[in-house]
């Protein structure tokens, strides 16, 4: 029988510790994770039980964030889409 491997996701305390270690404000992390600051506050305080997908997104942002600048791919995400030629 194949062994199941669980994803490693941060706990509420981990989110606060990692966010602060990276010099991110709650608002900045929320923006980068696509959450409202209030939702992130509730998550950090353990007031809600977040979906695993939400924790995975927060973990990915924290893992890619350094205090030196935006996470990899952040600029590309906000870049204008490529222009398409009309076939006429």
User: What does the pLDDT read at residue 10?
Assistant: 63
CA 88/CA 86 separation, integer angstroms: 6
Is the pLDDT reported for residue 53 higher than 80? yes
CA 38/CA 60 separation, integer angstroms: 19
Mean pLDDT score of the chain: 73
Averaged pLDDT, 45-54:
89
Is the pLDDT reported for residue 45 higher than 60? yes
Q: Which domains does the chain carry?
A: 12-65 (1.10.260.40)
Tens digits of residue pLDDT in 67-78: 544 444 343 343
CA 37/CA 64 separation, integer angstroms: 19
Q: pTM for the complete prediction? A: 0.63
């Amino acid at each position: 029988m194949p062994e199941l491997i669980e994803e490693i996701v941060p706990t509420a305390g981990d989110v606060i510790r990692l966010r602060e270690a990276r010099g991110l404000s709650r608002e900045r992390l929320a923006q980068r994770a696509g959450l409202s600051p209030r939702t992130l506050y509730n998550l950090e305080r353990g007031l809600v039980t977040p979906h695993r997908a939400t924790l995975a997104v927060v973990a990915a942002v924290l893992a890619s964030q350094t205090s030196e600048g935006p996470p990899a791919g952040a600029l590309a995400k906000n870049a204008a889409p490529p222009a398409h030629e009309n076939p006429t």
